[in-house]
């Protein structure tokens, strides 16, 4: 997979996903106590749009996950996520173009995460983020295997 003019090889992809998993899982945990009502509301609006819109899905997904890092209350998490925006947009776009992902299912998982955060259930929120990210990793790993 290409990122700008450089190839994003499989080991680098896995390293990036390790960092993303670490940041987002911890962000979900912290969001359980730190999220603002306005952020929760906007993230719900994004999840609702995922269920009904086909256009702009990568941008919506990126925005949702960036807001999750902001909701953690840790500004470094958000800065780290933002630093990888170009490559994350490539990966998110690739994920949603490689597989006719059921956007209803993706929207449901993103809504479920918000339910766990609202209920202040840190373990369930962390587990949900793991499942969301695993779905994308699985799709993209298949692409790497095809390209070998």
In tens, the pLDDT along 86-118 reads 999 988 888 877 655 677 888 999 999 999 999
Residue whose token pair is 């766990």: 116
Asked whether the whole model's pTM tops 0.85, one would answer yes
Report which of 102, 127, 131, 139 is spatially closest to residue 28, judged by C-alpha positions. 127
What does the mean pLDDT of the chain come to?
Answer: 89
Domains of the chain: 10-147 (1.20.120.530)
Q: What is the pLDDT of residue 51?
A: 86
Residue 128 to residue 83: CA distance in whole angstroms? 24
Tokens of 47: 């999840």
């Amino acid at each position: 997979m290409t990122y700008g003019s450089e190839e994003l090889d499989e080991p680098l992809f896995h390293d990036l996903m390790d960092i993303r998993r670490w940041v987002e899982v911890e962000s979900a945990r912290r969001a359980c106590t730190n999220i603002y009502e306005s952020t929760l509301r906007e993230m719900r609006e994004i999840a609702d749009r995922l269920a009904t819109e086909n256009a702009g899905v990568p941008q919506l997904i990126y925005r949702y996950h960036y807001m999750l890092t902001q909701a953690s209350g840790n500004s470094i998490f958000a800065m780290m996520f933002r630093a990888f925006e170009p490559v994350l947009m490539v990966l998110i776009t690739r994920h949603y173009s490689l597989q006719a992902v059921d956007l209803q299912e993706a929207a449901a998982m993103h809504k479920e995460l918000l339910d766990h955060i609202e209920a202040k259930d840190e373990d369930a929120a962390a587990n949900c983020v793991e499942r969301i990210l695993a779905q994308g990793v699985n799709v993209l790993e298949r692409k790497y295997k095809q390209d070998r």
